[in-house]
Amino acid sequence: MEIDKKIIDKVEKIAKKKKADFPESYIHDIADAYVRRELTDSELETLIVRVRKAYERARVEAGEAVGTVAAQSVGEPGTQMTMRTFHYAGVAELNVTLGLPRLIEIVDARKKISTPTMAIYFEDDTKEDEEFVKKLANYIGKSTVNDILKDFYINYAEMKVEAVIDEEKIKDKRLDLSEIIANIEKPFKKVVTIDGSKLTFEPAKQSLRELRLIADKVRDLQISGIKNIGKVIIRKEDEWIIHTEGSNLGDILKIDGVDKARTTTNDIHEIETVLGIEAARNAIMNEALRTLEEQGLSVDVRHIMLVADMMTSEGVVKSIGRHGISGEKSSVLARAAFEETGKHLLNASIRGEVDKLTGIIENIIIGQPIPLGTGSVGVMMKPSKTKAKTKTK
Amino acid sequence: MKGIIKKISQINFGLMSPEEIRKMSVIKIETPDTYDEDGYPIENGLMDPHLGVIDPSLRCRACGAKGGDCQGHFGSINLARPVIHVGFGDTIHKILRSSCNSCGRILLNDVEIEEYKAKIDALKENDESINDIIKEIYSVARKEKCPHCDEEQEEIKIDKPISIIEGDYKLTPSEVREKLERISDDDAYILGVNPEVARPEWMVLTVLPVPPVTVRPSITLETGERSEDDLTHKLVDILRINQRLIENMEAGAPQLIVEDLWELLQYHVTTYFDNEASGVPPARHRSGRPLKTLAQRLKGKEGRFRSNLSGKRVNFSARTVISPDPNISINEVGVPEMIAKEVTVPVHVNEWNIDELKKHIENGPDVHPGANYVIRLDGNKMRIYDETKDLILEKLEPGYIVERHLKDKDIVLFNRQPSLHRMSMMAHEVKVLPYKTFRLNLCVCPPYNADFDGDEMNMHVFQTDESRAEAKSLMRVQEHILSPRFGGPIIGAIHDHISGAYLLTRTGTEFTEEQAFQVIRKAKLPLPKRKHENWTGKELFSLLLPEKLNMHYKAEICQKCDECKLMSCEHDGYVVIEEGQLISGAMDEKAFGSFSGKILDTIMKEYGPEEARKFLDSSTDLAISGIMKAGITTSTNDEEIPEEAKERIEDHLDNAEKKVDKLVEAYENNELEALPGRSLEETLEMKIMQVLGEARDKSGEIAESYFDMTNHSVIMATTGARASMLNLTQITACVGQQSVRGGRIDRGYIERTLPHFRKNELGAKARGFVHSSYKEGLDPIEFFFHAMGGREGLVDTAIRTAQSGYMQRRLVNALQDLKVKENGLVTDNRGMVIQTMFGEDGVDPAKSDYGKAADLDKLIDEMRVKK
């Protein structure tokens, strides 16, 4: 949805004139409505005034406990989610962790997620090119010798393994025979003899065990694919998309023809290392929102945004829990009240830590009003000048 | 209640030096016994009256205060030999490892020392944690030669939790202490021990503080037997060994014996601090139960922190079973008289209320609007008895506080656990009612997630005017109609409220004028003009809509026809409200149901909570009238379909089962084509699941086609009151595939689910397809599979609540310190900015329209209508 820059400027100007301090997204929405609903200029003006009123009314109040509300809003739907680990999300052929386990995975900021997956998109000039996409899919996806065999046979009589490579399958996979042969030759230098597409392996030690071992090794030898990526699935939706099992954002983005802007992974740590902390923050938001929406639960983005911002506010992705945010709180009492009570108290004593009691839990513990909401303000009173009057009544 | 006079501004943590322990000690404890034969505490024993007293008839020897007024005083035990404090074993090891064995300097050269000192200073300056840098120092400061005295370093190991080993020699605590003493203050600073509050050698104890008796009260059993606290038991052990050690040392016993006793003393002191230290067998009670010592008292969910400090027990609270009452407002709660007489509200007596309060006192504690206590000007509390009534009445004057019974219109806090969100605690107005249950309006069930199958809820009575004022403006039910989670209504109609409103407003419902006015009266609506003809349900409902309300939307009952007939929809599926008049369509879940009520949402957002509350309250009354006029009931007869329909369903299911057989056959003959990225088996399963799923849906559709809106079950399902069409078709047509772990059932016996089948049979029935309907009844095999699926669901729920509970605790703990500052920044308690504007636009989701500050299209429509 492209909106003319001129219209945006116009809306912005009127907004300024009407003293409406809108965020950018509001200007866009209003400009969009202006075009879509074919508003007259005076209508636009009244609309802006009305939106301003609504906006001012809807602003958060100072002292609002936005953190707690966000945490509750994300946590409460958790009880209504399914536990079923696997579900088919969009792509029927791929298993993706969803539901509560996935949400926990996200807030835990796990380094190793249980089902990493990527969606690879292509640039405009390649996205309709089936041949290119198929070739790339084979380059990305993991294939082993087993996938290109025509015939495989363990010859126990002569103690050797015979394998015939299917050239058609190679063609289908858009691979190159000589490259594959070279690939196979490298690790099996001493035992392999090559005759065209026929390979014969003779183990150095003449034992059954050795023979079988070699047979397995040959079959499992990876001949193409990118590290950490397993199965790939090519799908034609509006355009060609490759879905992968496993994820390696860094290497995929280096490939020509891949759309760097839309290609994504669900591995937040990978996004952090490859694209940086801002991208990781957006990834947390998108993943959490998607997980919740998939379960039919509506949670306002702002709550998820706050969780994501909290997790990434120090420049690295930190987990929600004792190893992350909660373990790094400034207050000793807050940490002790959460988990690992003894450790925190003992450590605080030798370090000579000082608890300034600025947080919530600390003040509850010592029995003082909490510095939030109505607890964060006081009441000032001007002594009445008309004291005498009230007395006479 | 007197307000906070002093405010704690900070808490400093530190280690206690032996001198400090001695200084605060009021008495040296030497005798390992507690009481003598006569039951009096022994002097210098663990129950010495210097340590404070519990019995209010005794006086503390140290401060002279009566029991209860004296919080107790510490004593001390002089340990014959030093022992290591368990909690610091690891730290001691790391410090010794990073300091020289002979000169005691830190194993860093002067340059490094300066460097790290500067780094630590900088971190402290910024109020940041120094843990990481100290960890780094511990790993860097490990050199084979001391940079200060060139001494070769022997490796120091630790045998957890407390044995420090140098080379092959196990250091005694005395030797450890000597080594720690040699570390200079400057070096200690870099090793993570702040010399301002702690010295490394203080981690090895020479004096043991003895907590006051108030910390470890003994309890007297019914038999008159005294039972001592676990801590006292442990202290007795320590004293006993300590005395023996002293005796042996004085007698010049062999080194071996002394060392054994010393080790034993170390064990007892260790378990006194932490009875769950790894590598140390826990000290046990005579019964075999492990003792609960200091660390155990603090730790975990039942520990001091989580159960006594973060959460506290309170007075003026009540708990009982809840039951529904549609006749009270959503803002109200029905409180049993019995409870109202027990929990009280303190009221300050003044000139204006003295007469009223006198009436309360006159009623006394046993007659309902009475009072239980009076607090006099001197702060003394007096219970009101029949005998003292008159005396109190006489003396009552402004300044007294009367603790009067709870009565109507008082504000109380109402709560149901688990308190997952802020709507789990809301303020209600009291309505004192007979019987013994709390009564609540059904519209507040969704936020509390309450039902009436035996649920109990808690009520708290506010004790100050500030809290009452705050609760009334911030916590009242009507302020929480919109959920901050998604900006839509969470309080709204459920169940009969919805079906009732539907029956009232659907086309064809008519009332005679007389009936209509009765209904209007009951709903407490202003009486309209008579019109001398029948009233339609829609007209009646329009009475409670705000005058200028304009809206149109598709109702829940909308049949999703290919082409919408809009206003002339014969299903009442298109709702049009013009100028507050319901023109077409019927009320259902989409109108005012919780989570999806559009009219309620609009009223709340445009007319405010007060109007929304009135709308809900009156609509309840109207819905009751509607449902009482039509009458609604349900039984399995509702799910009856003609024989012909049954045959069609049967045909359909048979067909599907045949299709499954064909798929299986194709699979067995290797004719099945695998889907990309799937194995043959997976492909087969997916295809079978699809076929069977379709079969159930189709048979459901057949059954549905015989249902209409005269059927009460269907009314409930389509209006969104309760149940779904799926439930109905399961009763009527076919229950469908049962699943375990997301697939068809494939567990039980070897290669088959039940012995009634052949091995590896893959047919529909063999893998848990329930062909029968609930009404027909399940055969034993189907029943068994159904139970399997059902069990999985139960296990699932149990695990899920535990997991999501912990996730929520972590989330709340991580985010609770965040707040919005006056300038719009979102900061944590350290002042660190998390967001420059909450949610990037500063809008509160609870005040938003499903996440947006304003619905532009709605605004534009309104603007155009106005013209």
pLDDT tens-digit readout, A293-306 = 888 888 999 999 99
For chain B, domain boundaries: 86-200, 221-312, 317-480, 496-630, 636-783, 819-866
Report whether pLDDT(B25) > 60.
yes
pLDDT tens digits for range A267-297: 999 999 999 999 999 999 999 998 888 888 8
Q: Which of B13, B86, B479, B740 to mutate to test the interface with A (most CBs of A within 10 A)?
A: B13
A317 close to A271: Cβ distance less than 8 angstroms: no
HEC string of B809-823?
HHHHHHHCCCEECCC
Predicted pLDDT at B507: 87
A372 touches chain B (CB under 8 A): yes
Domain B496-630 sits in which CATH superfamily?
RNA polymerase Rpb1, domain 3 (1.10.274.100)
Which stretches of B738-810 are assigned E, i.e. beta strand?
739-740, 743-744, 769-770
Tell me which of B232 and A134 has the higher pLDDT: B232
Mean pLDDT value of segment B446-467:
94
CB contact under 8 A, B422 and A94: no
Q: Which of A74, A339, A344, A351 to mutate to test the interface with B (most CBs of B within 10 A)?
A: A351
pLDDT tens digits for range B541-577: 998 898 888 888 888 888 877 777 777 777 888 888 8
Predicted pLDDT at B866: 59
**Smallest Cα distance from B832 to chain A, Å:** 9
Tell me which of B811 and B860 has the higher pLDDT: B811
Tell me which of A96 and B785 has the higher pLDDT: B785
Residues forming a β-bridge with B107: none
Predicted pLDDT at A192: 74
Q: With bands split at pLDDT 50, 70 and 90, how would you rate the model's confidence at A93?
A: low
Mean pLDDT value of segment B102-126:
86
Range from B31-35, B345-349, B409-413 carrying the lowest mean pLDDT: B31-35
Q: With bands split at pLDDT 50, 70 and 90, how would you rate the model's confidence at A393?
A: very low
Report whether pLDDT(B382) > 80.
yes
Mean pLDDT value of segment B379-384:
90
Predicted pLDDT at A392: 45
Matching residue, tokens 């929990």: B343
Give the global pTM. Answer: 0.89
For chain A, domain boundaries: 5-58, 69-115+266-327, 143-224, 329-371
CATH fold for the domain made of A143-224: Gyrase A; domain 2 (3.30.1360)
A282 touches chain B (CB under 8 A): no
Among the listed residues A84, A104, A112, the one whose alpha carbon sits nearest the alpha carbon of residue A267: A112
pLDDT tens digits for range B734-763: 898 998 887 888 888 999 999 999 998 888
Residues of B in contact with A350 (CB under 8 A): 15, 88, 91, 192-194, 198, 203
CA-derived radius of gyration, chain B: 38
CB contact under 8 A, B131 and A37: no
Report whether pLDDT(B657) > 70.
yes
Check whether domain B317-480 has CATH 2.40.40.20, yes or no: yes
Query: How much is the mean pLDDT over chain B?
Result: 88
Report whether pLDDT(B708) > 80.
yes
Copy the structure tokens of residue B221: 């059993």
Predicted pLDDT at A92: 57
A134 touches chain B (CB under 8 A): no
Residues of B in contact with A233 (CB under 8 A): 676-677
Q: With bands split at pLDDT 50, 70 and 90, how would you rate the model's confidence at A391?
A: very low
A249 touches chain B (CB under 8 A): no
Q: With bands split at pLDDT 50, 70 and 90, how would you rate the model's confidence at B835?
A: very high
A119 touches chain B (CB under 8 A): no
What is d(CA A264, CA A261) in angstroms, rounded to the nearest whole number?
Answer: 8
Matching residue, tokens 């409220």: B497
Report whether pLDDT(B536) > 50.
yes
**Parallel/antiparallel/unpaired status of strands B456-461 and B411-415:** antiparallel
What is d(CA B240, CA B80) in angstroms, rounded to the nearest whole number?
Answer: 11
CB contact under 8 A, A26 and B194: no
B303 close to A337: Cβ distance less than 8 angstroms: no
The proportion of chain B whose per-residue pLDDT surpasses 70, expressed as a percent, equals: 99
Copy the structure tokens of residue B626: 């509607």
pLDDT tens digits for range A36-68: 888 788 888 888 888 888 888 888 989 899 999
A160 close to A201: Cβ distance less than 8 angstroms: yes
Predicted pLDDT at B38: 77
Predicted pLDDT at A26: 83
What is d(CA B506, CA B614) in angstroms, rounded to the nearest whole number?
Answer: 22
What is d(CA A210, CA A161) in angstroms, rounded to the nearest whole number?
Answer: 11
CA-derived radius of gyration, chain A: 31
pLDDT tens digits for range A338-380: 888 889 999 999 998 899 899 999 999 998 889 998 888 887 8
pLDDT tens digits for range B67-83: 778 888 999 999 989 99
- Domain A329-371: which CATH class? mainly alpha
Phi, psi torsion values for B524, nearest 5 degrees: 55, 35
Which of A212-216, A249-253, A350-354, B429-433 tops mean pLDDT? Answer: B429-433
Fold match between B317-480 and B636-783?
no
CB contact under 8 A, B88 and A61: no
CB contact under 8 A, B854 and A73: no
Residue of A nearest to B200 (CA): A350
Domain B636-783 sits in which CATH superfamily?
RNA polymerase Rpb1 funnel domain (1.10.132.30)
Q: CA dist B54 to B30, B209, B230, B750, B777, Å?
A: 21, 20, 17, 67, 68
Report whether pLDDT(B62) > 90.
no
- Please give the distance of CA A321 from its chain centroid, rounded to a whole number: 19
CB contact under 8 A, B837 and A369: no
Predicted pLDDT at A387: 55
CATH fold for the domain made of A69-115+266-327: PTS-regulatory domain, PRD (1.10.1790)
**Smallest Cα distance from A322 to chain B, Å:** 8
Write out residues 56-85 of A within 8 Å (CB-CB) of B.
57-79, 81-84
Q: Tally C-beta pairs within 8 A across A and B.
A: 327
Mean pLDDT value of segment A177-187:
75
pLDDT tens digits for range A106-134: 999 988 888 888 888 888 877 777 788 88
Residue of A nearest to B299 (CA): A341
Tell me which of A291 and A385 has the higher pLDDT: A291
pLDDT tens digits for range B595-634: 888 899 888 888 889 999 999 999 999 999 889 888 899 9
Copy the structure tokens of residue A365: 């513990």
Residue of A nearest to B795 (CA): A83
Query: How much is the mean pLDDT over chain A?
Result: 82
Which of B167-181, B383-397, B415-429, B708-722 tops mean pLDDT? Answer: B415-429
Q: CA dist A188 to A145, A185, A194, A201, B679, Å?
A: 13, 5, 11, 8, 30
What is d(CA B203, CA B222) in angstroms, rounded to the nearest whole number?
Answer: 42
Range from A182-196, A377-391, B253-267, B724-738 carrying the lowest mean pLDDT: A377-391
CB contact under 8 A, A341 and B131: no
Predicted pLDDT at B564: 77
Find the Cα–Cα–Cα–Cα dihedral B429, B431, B437, B442, rounded to 10°: -60
Range from A140-154, B23-37, B506-520, B824-838 carrying the lowest mean pLDDT: A140-154
Instruction: Classify residue B477 by its DSSP letter.
Output: G
Tell me which of B738 and A27 has the higher pLDDT: B738
